[in-house]
Amino acid sequence: MWTVIYIAPTRSVAEKYQKALSEEGILVQLRAVGAYQQSNNNSVEILVPESEAEEAHEILTTIIGRK
């Protein structure tokens, strides 16, 4: 089962976080939110397998905290 761990404000932000999580060995899926799902300006859910959600959330929190 896939679990949403973060909702990124844009597709480019989601792809940046997807790459970082993938480099740590986490499986990641992105899912657009809203009617115009192809737009880069829509929010995008970042999903990981439920078994990796806690680890992925910790990694993501560390990445976001570095800004």
The CATH number assigned to the domain holding 29 equals: 3.30.70.260
Query: Which 3 state secondary structure label does DSSP give 52?
Result: helix
Joined tokens for residue 24: 């740590």
- The position carrying tokens 């880069």 is 40
| Dihedral-angle region of residue 25 (phi above 0 means left; psi in -120 to 50 means alpha; beta otherwise) | left
Q: What's this model's pTM, rounded to 2 decimal places?
A: 0.87
Number of domains comprising the chain: 1
Q: What percent of the chain has pLDDT over 90?
A: 78
Joined tokens for residue 2: 């896939």
- The position carrying tokens 């959330």 is 57
Cα 64 to its chain centre, rounded Å, is 12
pLDDT value, residue 67: 63
- State the alpha helices, DSSP H only, in 7-52: 11-23
For the stretch 15-43, pLDDT in tens is: 999 999 999 999 999 999 976 656 667 89
Give the range of the structural domain holding residue 43, as residue numbers without chain letter.
2-65
Query: Residue range 6-13: average pLDDT?
Result: 95
